Amino acid sequence: MSTMKDRMLAGELYIADDPEITADLDRAARLTERFNTGSADDPQGRLTTLRELLGSLGDGTWVRPPFHCDYGWQTHIGPRSFVNFNAVFLDVARITIGADVQIGPNVQLLTATHPIEPAARRDKWESARPIAIGDNVWLGGGVIVLAGVSIGENTVVGAGAVVTKDLPPNIVAVGNPARPVRTLEKAI
C-alpha cells in the first residue's frame, strides 16, 4: 500500500495533512525562516542554509530573500542562476531550473493543483505536476508558471505573464495566458 507521500511524489491525488508530509513542510518552514532572517553580513551562512533546504543548487547561483517554498528538496536550480526577492516555489512536484536562468521579483512557480469537483476539494485532496525551466530563460517580474509547464531554453517571459502551457525555446512570450510574440535568434 502506498503512503500519501508516495502518492504525492507519483503525481496522484493525496491529502497534504499526512504526518510524513507535514514533517517535510515543517522542515522547509524552519529552513526558509533561517534563510530569510539570516544576516546580510553572513552570505555564506545563508548559502549553507539554502543548500540544506533545496534538492540541489548549482555553483554561482543566488536566491535573494525572502524566498518561500513547500518542501525545498523538490527544487533543483542549475549553476549561475539568479532568483530575485519574494519568489514562491510551491514544489509539491519537482521544479527544475536550468543554468543561467534569471527569475524576477515576485515570480511564482506553482506545481500544486486541486480537483475541480467540490466534494474532492472539501475532502482536502490535491495533486501536483512538475515544472521545468530550460537554460538561459528569463522570467520577468510577477510571472506565474502553472503546474505541468515546461519553458524551453533562451525563452523570455514578460513581466506579469501567466504561463498555462508549455513554451518552446527561443521565443518571447507575454500576456495572460502567455503567448509567443517574437522568435529569438538561437544562442551561439
Active-site residue flag, 114: yes
Which cell is 2 given?
Answer: 502506498
- What is d(CA 161, CA 140) in angstroms, rounded to the nearest whole number? 8
Active-site residue, from 114, 124, 165, 182: 114
- What is d(CA 150, CA 164) in angstroms, rounded to the nearest whole number? 10
- What is d(CA 126, CA 110) in angstroms, rounded to the nearest whole number? 13
Catalytic annotation, residues: 114
